[in-house]
Structure 1
Amino acid sequence: MWEKSVTAIMVATEFLEVGLNTVNKAAMNKGLSDFVLVFYSNVLGIFMLAPCIIIFYRKRSPPVLTWSTICKIFLLGVLSYGGQICTYIGIGYGSPTLASAMADLTPAFTFIFSIISGMEKLDLGIKSSQAKSLGTLVSITGAFVVTLYKGLPLTTSPRKYSFLHQVLGIPHSNWIIGGFFLASHSVIFAIILNVQTWIIRRYPAEMLVTLICSIIVAILSSVVSLMVEKDPNAWKIGFNMELIATVYTAAFAVAFRSVVHKWALRKKGPIYVSMFKPLEMVIALAMGIAFLGDKLYLGSLLGAAIIAIGFYAVIWGQAQEEKMVHDTRSSNKDPLLPNTTHTLVV
């Protein structure tokens, strides 16, 4: 039951991720600066996280925070700021669909960094490692099929402009620049997953780590934003799509998603969390067809099926590894035998 809960929450997180990319793109089309978005969302996220931490730790004490842990969280904050900037610049030049496509590169980079850092052990003689390795490659292959191969259209031609297209007003952009920044984010995010796992398994306080990291990001973004955004009007946000994007980003990306990722990383590890990123492409396609009037092509359907196969292969491999660890721990516990614990003297 617990395993299903982790999976369900991670899938729900990816749905919200696709919605976040769409809302942020719409706000940027209205003039919202990506640097200002990072600053405002992290500041607002701090005010959202602080009361939650006070309530959570009102009857318990948080783990002792050492200088070593603070330095690790500072590194995480620097990486998080770089990742957020790359994401929003990439979405600004590209599109939510491109962001979902580039996210498919995350499992590959995470897999490589996890092996290098020692977070994961690659033993191709074990079925669980074979399943995780093959599943990762299959998911990445499916992502490339969705991205690069169209195939025959499976649905009729939609309206030229849907209602949401008109509301969001997403124009044609420079996908080369957008793709570069979004691919850079995939690399940074893969490193972030490993660093977060490194921190959270030694300091199991997800909300507190997220709060400190957000404070660091807010400080960094305030310095950079003041240097980059010279126009005072760039800092003005009205009651419109820009405000919605800022609140959505603060509540979901800065607070909820960050805590959920750290929690899942502590339970499952970096590869497990990264394997949910290819689902973004499938979700983005489904939402595009349902709400934006996009066509469904054979390549999209085929790629989605391949991604699903790879995803379940990794999940199966992860479950087998956890079962092996549980069995090993159980076998190492020596049972107490009453006839051997005492010596009978006649």
Structure 2
Amino acid sequence: MVNQNVVPFVGMVMVVMSQSGGMVINKAAMSDGMNKYVMLLYAYLISTFLLLPFPILHYFRSDEHTTPLTFSSLWSFFLLGLIGCSGQILSYLGIELSSPTLASAMLNLIPAFTFILALIFRMEEACWKDSRTQAKVLGTAVSIEGAFVVIFFKGPAILNNTHSTLSLQFSQQVNWILGGFFCACDSFLGALWYIYQTSLSKKYPALMVMTFFQSLFSTLECGLFAVFAVRDEEAWLLKNYTGWLAMLYQAIGANVIRFILLTWCVRRAGPLFCSMFKPVGIIFTVFMGSIFLGDHFYLGSLIGAVLIVIGFYVVMWGKATQENKVEIHYLESASYNTNNNVPLLQSGSPPQSGITSQF
């Protein structure tokens, strides 16, 4: 029992550290002159190449039932890649204008945005007199309020405080607000991606094949965007060590290894267990950004991050209690049906309530 809990715990710590490390390395590469769109495109290219064996093995194994590729499924993969690619572009832009710490804090808005989108698409039932729904609404409101605090209130620097001119402070404040807005948009697209991916995975269960085509379409979409956005030919050349390191780390560590490890942890311990580690990324990002980048950590970031994390856990508490209620109800119904010789559901598993996402 101990090993079953320890191994997913270590795995999720590695997932969070890899994500935080990727933000810090990307910020360092951008500060060193690496173009963010070119770096993202090259990372997608490498990821697609590394994922290529998975669909080949899937479709050439005779002992495995393969899901046919249709125009509808390819179009769905295209949209999934477009959402993910757009979110990545906004994330890179937000990190360049602000800091990895702010971007890491904003990622905790994904459950709140997911709950809002689930209500809009009627994937989540809302009983406003139910304490679980009230908890989700309250947690969403607190998380969004924390995001506003992080974006619009910097306050004094807690770490690495330095003096700067008034004009520079104003310029930094504007960039900080814009960066926070882009990171919040990235979290919104991330929530939309989780919802669409959850719906699509039910129709197309071959996870690694879906991941490959998503990466392939993201590469094409990012390449088309980069061609129009980056007109300087010199920007397409990798001239510094930091750019190479960021590109390879994002492609191998953040895209491929982190995804496979996260998928394994979700299947081993469940999405709720894995989602609880999201706020830990703020701690890693703060220390790594301070050590390697000399980033400031502001009072507003601390207050806002605390509010976002509180809202995050309140939303997750509402989600957990709702899923427990559904499972208990299913077990009671199964016990009743067994005692009365009534056939059970063919699936043999409790119905899923709401959205099960890999936050």
Calculate the TM-score normalised by the size of structure 1: 0.75
Q: Which residue of 2 aligns with 1:285?
A: 286
Letter in 2 for 1:29: S
Verify the 8 A CA contact 2:112 2:315 in the aligned structure 1.
no
Q: State whether structure 2 residue 67 is matched by structure 1 residue 63.
A: yes
Q: Which residue of 1 aligns with 2:131?
A: 127
Q: Which residue of 1 aligns with 2:26?
A: 24
Q: Distance in 2 between matches of 1:110 and 1:39?
A: 27
Q: Which residue of 2 aligns with 1:344?
A: none
Letter in 1 for 2:122: G
Letter in 1 for 2:118: S
Q: Distance in 2 between matches of 1:182 and 1:316?
A: 25
The more displaced of 292-301 and 319-328 is: 292-301
Q: Which residue of 2 aligns with 1:81?
A: 85
Letter in 1 for 2:22: L
SS of alignment partner, residue 250 of structure 1: helix
Tell me which of 332, 335, 339 is aligned to 2:338.
Answer: 335
Deviations 1:289-320 (A, max 9, x none): 56666677766655555444433333332322
Q: Which residue of 2 aligns with 1:178?
A: 179
Q: 1:129 to 1:11 in 2, by over 3 A?
A: farther
User: Unaligned 5+ residue runs, structure 1?
Assistant: 162-170, 339-346
Deviations 1:245-300 (A, max 9, x none): 1111112443244556777889977x998886555444433444566666777666
Letter in 1 for 2:199: W
Verify the 8 A CA contact 1:196 1:262 in the aligned structure 2.
no
Q: 1:273 to 1:146 in 2, by over 3 A?
A: farther
Verify the 8 A CA contact 1:124 1:130 in the aligned structure 2.
yes
Q: Which residue of 1 aligns with 2:313?
A: 312
Q: Distance in 2 between matches of 1:136 and 1:7?
A: 26
The CA deviation at 1:241 is 0.8
Letter in 2 for 1:112: I
Q: Distance in 2 between matches of 1:79 and 1:29?
A: 26
Letter in 1 for 2:226: S
The CA deviation at 1:239 is 6.3
Deviations 1:180-226 (A, max 9, x none): 43333233222212111211233223222111011111122233333
Q: 1:25 to 1:282 in 2, by over 3 A?
A: same
Q: 1:215 to 1:7 in 2, by over 3 A?
A: same
Verify the 8 A CA contact 2:151 2:177 in the aligned structure 1.
no
Letter in 2 for 1:88: Y
- Greater Cα radius of gyration, structure 1 or 2: 1
Q: Distance in 1 between matches of 2:316 and 2:131?
A: 13
Q: Distance in 2 between matches of 1:331 and 1:24?
A: 51
Tell me which of 11, 15, 18 is aligned to 2:17.
Answer: 15
Tell me which of 98, 102, 126 is aligned to 1:98.
Answer: 102
Q: Distance in 1 between matches of 2:5 and 2:315?
A: 14
Q: State whether structure 2 residue 32 is matched by structure 1 residue 40.
A: no
Q: Distance in 2 between matches of 1:291 and 1:231?
A: 29
Q: Distance in 1 between matches of 2:50 and 2:43?
A: 10
The CA deviation at 1:240 is 0.7
The CA deviation at 1:138 is 3.2
Q: Percent identity?
A: 37
Verify the 8 A CA contact 1:107 1:277 in the aligned structure 2.
no
SS of alignment partner, residue 203 of structure 2: coil
Q: Which residue of 2 aligns with 1:168?
A: none
Q: Which residue of 2 aligns with 1:244?
A: 245
Letter in 2 for 1:130: Q
Q: Distance in 2 between matches of 1:30 and 1:293?
A: 14
Letter in 2 for 1:44: I
Q: Distance in 1 between matches of 2:255 and 2:305?
A: 29
Q: 1:312 to 1:88 in 2, by over 3 A?
A: closer
The more displaced of 326-335 and 141-150 is: 141-150
The CA deviation at 1:83 is 1.6
- Equivalenced residue count is 326
Q: Distance in 2 between matches of 1:260 and 1:141?
A: 32
SS of alignment partner, residue 139 of structure 2: helix
Q: 1:119 to 1:5 in 2, by over 3 A?
A: farther
The more displaced of 38-47 and 236-245 is: 236-245
The CA deviation at 1:70 is 2.2
Q: Distance in 2 between matches of 1:6 and 1:113?
A: 29
Q: Distance in 2 between matches of 1:178 and 1:297?
A: 15
Q: Distance in 2 between matches of 1:202 and 1:91?
A: 35
- Alpha-carbon RMSD across the aligned residues, in angstroms, is 4.0
Matches within 5 A, 1:133-144: 133-144=137-148
Deviations 1:151-190 (A, max 9, x none): 788x7x75869xxxxxxxxx96933543443333233222
Verify the 8 A CA contact 1:140 1:278 in the aligned structure 2.
no
